Structure 1
């Protein structure tokens, strides 16, 4: 295992931070997989899964069983991990700018299209190699004028030429669920089966330019731009994996998730002498649904939140999911789901302000437009 430190641009003199990446296997000897944990630094379950993965990957490497390269970023946000204010961890937004750490990743497709124009042909593997080289060059050319930009660039550089990218997050409280694109979903179905995902939300461009889409969407966009005469497969499968809720930090769960990820790596050909029969996997626990069909439950006023339904329950339009109580007047407002679907995530705080989303129901039909992700 090789450990690499990637220094970030210091925000002010006298301070230094670096991003740590752990590299297992041999680059170029097979597929490349990037797994990163806790880009939102206050979402801790991914760090514990990474802890279990580093033990598994180390054992596979020592036994000579890794075919390819696995890059593990055990704590993907050294800026956010240190942002504590009045005993509360603030790891979702950079305090200096207010920017979400998992937004505003650059759209590389235009620069790559220009760089490879006239160079692609009928050989799909050669096309993939040329596009990956152009992607690496496009990331190298990105600005890094702030500490946050330097972090984004470092993470981008580690992942941009990977075959598979697993971005480990979590919700406030919820069941294990995925966010990915329609083009990635067929290749990620075995992972959903291995991990027991209970909801899968699909969108081509969800708004906000999150990390996973910045890596996967250039392939789909370029394939459409150059047309069927220029074969270009979906060469990067990228997914945001929500590892249940913020408090689901326990060795049994993390060990289970790490084992499932290792099983998926074996299916992708990265583990020698391992079962690789996808037909033997558990069945899918859900059908994929559009992210535009995921409906938020919004508090019309502030108050105490009392949930009457739990994540993982199927609900019907009109069902009360929670009650919102004004502690001054005693008024009680039921919060009802507008759609049939799976109640898959909810807020972990129990007091709401007006306009706050306190839960999410995955419906089967697209009903929203514009920015589909929470801020």
Structure 2
């Protein structure tokens, strides 16, 4: 195991923050895994603890056939943000920016470097583009903030990987994945192993999230250079590992083993691993996800558990105003899976309370919420 420490720029005087990445194995294929980019989403960090332990064992046993990088604490900035004993890991205090938005657009940085150099050899093109990505990072001016420096380091480690897993969680949720439609079939065994309730697909959900900043450049470059053979060489997915409280040891161990078995399927680990379950949820378009809101303020009672399959018209939650006795029942308008619920129990204006993964597109434009 190799430990790589990066000091973040623009730390406050008298303090220092660093990003630590652990590197295991070697070989032609590479996987990059990071946890808790939203720093208060801790199930991924707990799974990363088990991954680190197991990867060290597998490396000592000579079982690693590829290169695997692991960043268990992907956001040391957010991890240190506490307000009245509550961790605030989704938005940076200084700028108000979401830590998982506005990553660099690698396609625009790389295109001038590869223009006129791409041909019919897909493997050669992949190597050239990955080299150009690293050269583009090296040519950037110094980062103007701690957040920018962190985002560059994360993307620089991930951009030349064949597989990228960004481990998150929702408030109260079933396991679910976000990915490009082009990668949904290849990620099906991972979804099955993790017993995912939903896989949501979109080519560009808006916001330049980390996973799409790894995978989308390949589609954009292929569109810009149609004469060249450019495959979607980076399969990146956001893996939402249930809800924020899902950090129990047996669960973390099981999910780590599921991820390791999938890495073995991808040619990164040797040995005998259990086969993926045959049953898996069917991918649905992210445009088909219904976000449900309360019609007025009040205390919330959920009427369906996270992961429940619901029909249009099924009640999902009720809202009761204890002062004037207003009472509303909010129902699903689509068939699908209730894949996430809000953790707070008081309805506030403009904040979603439930999400249902439907099969038919009902939204357009920016699909990500902040």
TM superposition score normalised by structure 2: 0.97
Describe the SS at the equivalent of 2:104.
coil
Cα distance between partner residues in 2 of 1:330 and 1:142 = 58
- Among 318, 324, 329, the alignment partner of 1:329 is 324
The CA distance in 2 between the partners of 1:333 and 1:48, in whole Å, is 38
Q: Is the 8 A contact 2:312 2:334 kept in 1?
A: yes
Bigger shift: 98-107 or 298-307?
A: 298-307
1:205-255 Cα distance to aligned partner (Å, 9 max, x none):
10111000000001111122222x421111100000000000111011111
State how many pairs are aligned: 369
CA distance in 2, matches of 1:148, 1:76: 12
| In 1: Cα distance, 2:197 partner to 2:224 partner | 34
Which stretch shifts more, 267-276 or 174-183?
A: 267-276
Q: Is the 8 A contact 1:142 1:153 kept in 2?
A: no
- Residue 288 (structure 1) aligned to one of 283, 290, 296: 283
Deviation (angstroms), 1:101: 0.3
Shift of 1:300: 2.3
Residues 1-375 of structure 1 mapped to structure 2, 5 A cutoff:
1-26=1-26, 29-143=27-141, 144-227=143-226, 229-275=227-273, 280-375=275-370
Alignment partners' CA distance in 2, 1:66 and 1:303: 53
CA contact (8 A) 1:296 1:357 kept: yes
Give the drift of 1:275. Answer: 4.5
CA distance in 2, matches of 1:311, 1:244: 9
* Cα distance in structure 2, aligned partners of 1:183 and 1:294: 19
Give a deviation string over 1:141-200, Cα, whole Å, max 9, x none. Answer: 345100110110111111111110000000000100000111222221221122221100
Aligned partners of 1:142, 1:162: CA distance in 2, in Å? 21
Q: Secondary structure at the match of 2:137?
A: helix
Uncovered stretches (5+) of structure 1, i.e. residues with no partner: none
8 Å Cα contact 2:104/2:152 also seen in 1 = no
Q: 2:36–2:42: 8 Å Cα contact kept in structure 1? A: yes
Unaligned ranges ≥5, structure 2: none
* Residues 104-126 of structure 1 deviation map (CA, whole Å, 9 limit, x = unaligned): 00111122122111111111110
By how many angstroms is 1:364 displaced? 0.3
Counterparts in 2 of 1:142 and 1:357: CA distance versus 1, 3 Å: farther
User: 1:235 & 1:284 partners in 2: Cα distance?
Assistant: 27
- The Cα shift of 1:134 comes to 1.1
Q: What is the distance in 2 between the residues matched to 1:364 and 1:170? A: 22
Q: What CA distance in whole angstroms lies between the structure 2 residues aligned with 1:155 and 1:111? A: 16
* 2:147 aligned counterpart, secondary structure: helix
| RMSD, aligned CA | 1.3
Deviation at 1:336, TM superposition (A): 1.3
User: Using a 3 Å threshold, how does the CA distance of structure 1 residues 183 and 139 change in structure 2: closer, same or farther?
Assistant: farther
Residue aligned with 2:242, SS:
strand
Q: TM-score, normalised by structure 1?
A: 0.96
Q: Distance in 2 between matches of 1:290 and 1:8?
A: 37
